[in-house]
Structure 1
Amino acid sequence: MLSHITTPIFYPNAKPHIGHVYSSLLADLIHRHALLSSPKPHSNKPLTHLFTTGLDEHGLKIQQAAIKNNFSTPKKFVDSLAVEFKKMDKLCDINYTRFIRTTDQDHVENVYKLWSLVFQNGYIYKNTHEGWYSVSDETFYPESKIIKQPDGSYKNTETNTSVIPSNESNYFFKLSSFQSQLIELYEKTAQNMIYPPKYRDFILHELKSQPLKDLSISRPVERLVWGIDVPNDPTQKIYVWFDALCNYISSIGSINNVLENTPNIVSSHSFSADPTHQIIIPSPAETWQNTTHIVGKDIIRFHTIYWPAFLMAAGIPLPKQVIVHGHWLSEGTKMSKSKGNVVDPIDCIEKFGIDTLRWYLLQNSNLKNDNDFILKNLMDFKKISFVGKWGNLIHRCCSPKFSIHDAVLKFTTSNKTIQEDFQSIFSSPVDSESNIQNASQFKELYQTIIKDLETLPSDMKVMIETLETAKLLNKFWSIIDNLNQFIQLTTPWKLKSPEDLQKRNLIIYFVIDSMRILSILSQPIIPNLAGMFLDRLDVVKERRSWEFAAYKKDIDYAVDANLKNRPPTIQME
């Protein structure tokens, strides 16, 4: 089954910020995990996952921002910002397979197709619209959500943006026709389509508490120049959200391919290892129905009310799920340029490295609530956790005092399990001459670590599907903390006699093979640093996939791991 994950397509009226990074990181985590646990893109087996991100490049805000920034055309303005967003994705190791832009020709053609289907099915009509319009949100708000401000201006209660009275002739979408269908969808047919359930309950409450009004889906060219023409009516431009939401289906081919379920080659998707590689989608309808959108809570209405209604009206199947996340605060307050507290992701990456930022964001966030970015915690995290716990543990085992490679050869060529190795070597009572104290404690740790590592791949699958990232990363640290405690209790550097050689080798093998497994499994989270850890252990690239994330699966690594003067994998600069 070929699945598909998407970020929102971001609105490029300014440079990317930490919120863009977070949405992209969640999608990247899901995508990398799917690839790690499935066939490689260039193997003979079918590919199992696609990942789309990109830009929403039309609309009044873009038109105004282009003028404000002295660009001759909106297209030149969005071209310049597309470079910035792609740069950010590269810096953040976002491994997308397609970067879509709503100015892409294949997308424009799909927007025309979507409009035509909805129009032919009788869900689009022309009428005069009078209401409160938000330029910032590019949408109308009902009178019930408008509040007059002390200075005489007006704002809407939903997004707190300014609104102005507007009267114009538009095309309308019969959104009111889909209220009961949407309630049925979220209550009975697809209860998990909006995740977490908190956001589904929010949307259901809105659907039940007030009638849906028909939606204006075009703008007159007197006000909006930068957009896609309404078919057969050059006096109107298509509403930016009707245009933008269609990107998700444009990315995997044409609407016709999905409706007819005809196999197609999508040359617009590629992998960084081979940008010319063409991807075949054998069943576009199946891929579309296995598409998951990741969005911020501020655009939940567009993705869970407007988008499914557009698709229903066109007779197109619905995607699998919409995963919603909260926003990032800075030191407990909302980020804003006026407060000077906007977190610059590029600055964080330059100071602490991308993997530190990736791990920090995933460990200090949950989908249900807004999350707080604290710069000092990011700095302390790298020093205490990555350097002090993870990197230092590998560095200690790579001391010239030991030979990991000898230990690997010794214990991977036996027919015993890792538990049986321990029982045979540590079967005799531990006395003072063994130089190992606290025998019962380290034996218990040994079994705990084995159990936790054996269940980690399956636990990881579930926690990534539900994006319980903090819980997942805490499991990694629990194992690493236990490994650090284990090596402190067993003190292999003190086991110098010939009689203790087997014990010392088993301790070193057990710790370092555990770290090898953790490094393989952490590749979707910290792809660069995990690769550095595996490089330090001389693990060849062909043995870094999911199938090797178990004890004794790699029978020949760490050939030069204990050579003198090899630098630490990670250190504070």
Structure 2
Amino acid sequence: MASKVIRAVPKFHVTTPIFYPNARPHLGHLYSSLLCDVQNRWNKLANRDTCFTTGTDEHGLKIQLAAQQKGYQDSKAFVDELYEHFVKLDSIADIKYSRFIRTTDPDHIENVKELWNICYKNGFIYKGEHKGWYSVSDETFYPQTKILELTKDGQWIPYNGIMDNGAKYINSESHNEVTYQSEFNYFFKLSSFQKPLIELLRNNPGFIQPASRHSQILRELETNELRDISVSRPESRLKWGIDVPNDESQKWWQNTEHLIGKDIIKFHTIYWPAFLMAAELPLPKKVVVHGHWLSGGVKMSKSLGNVIDPIEIISYYGSDTMRWYLLENSNLEDDGNFIERKLWETRELLCSKLGNLINRCGGKKFSLYSGVQAFNHKSPEELTPILSEKSKGPFISLLNSLNNCSNAIDSCYSLYDITGAQKIIWAIINEANSFVQSTEPWSKSGAEKDLIIYSAMEAARIALILSQPIIPNFSEKLLDRLDVSNDKRTLEYTPYGSDDGYGMSTNSRHKEVPIQRVPFRLDAENK
């Protein structure tokens, strides 16, 4: 008896940063989660075994102080309340994760302790006195060379080494406030990993994306000597953390993200790989770094009144509108600039181009199903003779827009170039609309009319399958409108003519197009 061949299913795992729940989630949190969500959904379409993790970083002095400022006696009660806002945002934005991890989860705490014990056993953790400039906001120490002092005339100048107890100091990296502190901590031997990290980046040019961030970190490692870092805090000062194994006077935190914002790049491209090397654990395949989101071209601020509440925006314009807009108007290299009128225009375009394409071809005067039955699985060479000379050129142009489109989009996703993927989808939709306009199926009859409608709706069907990771609700409803079976919505069915069983009732009765316009909010005119 022949043995059954079991083929390995490609695996894909993506993670967001674990977000600080010291305040409600903002647009940046949504953007990180959205990038991971579309990657996870796309890889599911490609029949890969996927896992998508996100969560909240609920320990540390920043959380402890925020809880105290809000009047909480218990930091756990504070994060229990705030983390629910992150879960709510994920839900309303259709972020479908595999696991939401809280650093207060018992299994996470046990894994932190296990990592600590391995690093300690391997000789990379030791106890010593630490003196230096500490930032509560960044939860890290900075060297004296990166400290700026505020002068009496309001200028920031490099710290001269003479401390004035009444002066204010910040670090030159994040520009957050720092204070000079002395304490006994546990240290991690980061200095032992300078050469291994340099070799890692030199031998793996795609380890950090985009390439400019890879070059930035490699240059940092090649020009600045790594110092051992403090990986614990005294219990006397930090009461909200994970106990150091076998020494409850110390606490420690760790992070495991692969997609991160640019403000935490050093933690996740230098510190985290070094921890993994110390524990002899596998490194991530890549670390993807994205920019921030501005509002009206400037950093969001309550005082400026330009803070964007993602839950409020989604509640009005819908999650799919927000998802398409954020992804189409961003890239890894640069900061995004949120403008609400452009968000509204995004919904208008989806309605007028995608919704209208299906609406005009789904009318009672046409029969999509006749075309599906007659033309599926036939080659362009077999179909072209059916068309008039005027229609042949637009038909070939439409087929060209569909040629190899799923592979082209897969290449975009591998680079986190979702905007590039959207351009390919828009090209298909625009080509289909142009095809209908130039061939005028309402003036045709018989096989030619059926072929025109079939080809236009094939383009719509394929574009919708490709759009599912970005606009899951719109895609689902419009694919339902075309009677596309749920088991035929994967990349396997993106070639032209690959589905022979849809369109049964598309033209038999009037159906509402499930993408409706909404008016622009007048009170958002200047946002």
TM-score, normalization: structure 2?
A: 0.91
Tell me the residue number matched to 2:427: 478
Shift of 1:421: 4.1
1:552 aligns with 2:517: no
Tell me, yes or no, if the aligned pair for 1:55 and 1:82 is still in contact at 8 Å: yes
In 2: Cα distance, 1:333 partner to 1:135 partner: 25
In 1: Cα distance, 2:309 partner to 2:321 partner: 15
1:505 aligns with 2:450: yes
Tell me the residue number matched to 2:346: 381
In 2: Cα distance, 1:178 partner to 1:210 partner: 13
Match of 1:20 among 17, 29, 44: 29
Query: Tell me, what secondary structure is at the counterpart of 1:382?
Result: helix
In 1: Cα distance, 2:414 partner to 2:378 partner: 34
In 1: Cα distance, 2:189 partner to 2:268 partner: 16
Deviations 1:93-114 (A, max 9, x none): 1111111111111111111111
Tell me the residue number matched to 1:252: none
Tell me the residue number matched to 2:249: 235
Return the letter of the residue paired with 1:400: K
Return the letter of the residue paired with 2:171: N
Tell me, yes or no, if the aligned pair for 2:401 and 2:431 is still in contact at 8 Å: no
Shift of 1:416: 2.7
1:298 aligns with 2:263: yes
In 2: Cα distance, 1:375 partner to 1:315 partner: 48
Gaps of 5+ in 2: 1-9, 153-166, 519-527
In 1: Cα distance, 2:408 partner to 2:418 partner: 11
Tell me the residue number matched to 2:438: 489
Aligned pairs for 1:351-500 (under 5 A) are 351-383=316-348, 385-412=349-376, 416-417=378-379, 419-426=380-387, 430=389, 439=390, 442-495=391-444, 500=445
Deviations 1:411-448 (A, max 9, x none): 23xx632x13432212x6x4xxxxxxxx1xx4333212
Gaps of 5+ in 1: 40-47, 249-292, 431-438
Tell me the residue number matched to 2:219: 205
Shift of 1:552: 2.0
Return the letter of the residue paired with 1:524: P
In 2: Cα distance, 1:422 partner to 1:348 partner: 46
In 2: Cα distance, 1:73 partner to 1:563 partner: 62
Aligned pairs for 1:123-202 (under 5 A) are 123-150=124-151, 152-188=167-203, 190-202=204-216
In 2: Cα distance, 1:411 partner to 1:355 partner: 33
Tell me, yes or no, if the aligned pair for 1:57 and 1:102 is still in contact at 8 Å: yes
Tell me, yes or no, if the aligned pair for 1:102 and 1:244 is still in contact at 8 Å: no
Tell me the residue number matched to 1:216: 230
In 2: Cα distance, 1:318 partner to 1:541 partner: 37
Aligned pairs for 1:236-385 (under 5 A) are 236-238=250-252, 240=253, 243-245=254-256, 293-383=258-348, 385=349
Shift of 1:371: 1.5
Tell me, yes or no, if the aligned pair for 1:395 and 1:569 is still in contact at 8 Å: no
Tell me, yes or no, if the aligned pair for 2:59 and 2:241 is still in contact at 8 Å: yes
Shift of 1:157: 0.5
Query: Tell me, what secondary structure is at the counterpart of 1:339?
Result: coil
Query: Tell me, what secondary structure is at the counterpart of 1:473?
Result: helix
Shift of 1:184: 1.2
Deviations 1:103-133 (A, max 9, x none): 1111111111111111111111111111111
Tell me the residue number matched to 1:72: 73
Shift of 1:6: 0.6
Tell me, yes or no, if the aligned pair for 2:409 and 2:424 is still in contact at 8 Å: no
Tell me the residue number matched to 2:476: 531
1:2 aligns with 2:3: no
Shift of 1:68: 2.0
In 1: Cα distance, 2:69 partner to 2:382 partner: 70
Tell me the residue number matched to 1:91: 92
Tell me the residue number matched to 1:278: none
Identity value in percent = 48
Deviations 1:216-272 (A, max 9, x none): 11111111000001111111111x3xx233xx6xxxxxxxxxxxxxxxxxxxxxxxx
Shift of 1:511: 0.3
In 1: Cα distance, 2:295 partner to 2:393 partner: 42
Query: Tell me, what secondary structure is at the counterpart of 1:558?
Result: coil
Query: Tell me, what secondary structure is at the counterpart of 2:392?
Result: helix
In 2: Cα distance, 1:542 partner to 1:91 partner: 25
Deviations 1:143-196 (A, max 9, x none): 0000001352000000000001111111111111111111111112x2211111
Return the letter of the residue paired with 2:383: F
In 2: Cα distance, 1:228 partner to 1:533 partner: 49
Shift of 1:50: 0.7
Deviations 1:266-325 (A, max 9, x none): xxxxxxxxxxxxxxxxxxxxxxxxxxx111111110001100111111111211110111
Shift of 1:341: 1.1
Match of 1:572 among 504, 508, 517: 517
Equivalent residue pairs, number: 495
Return the letter of the residue paired with 1:244: N
Tell me the residue number matched to 1:270: none
**Which is worse superposed, 151-160 or 555-564?**
555-564
In 2: Cα distance, 1:23 partner to 1:223 partner: 32
In 2: Cα distance, 1:35 partner to 1:191 partner: 27
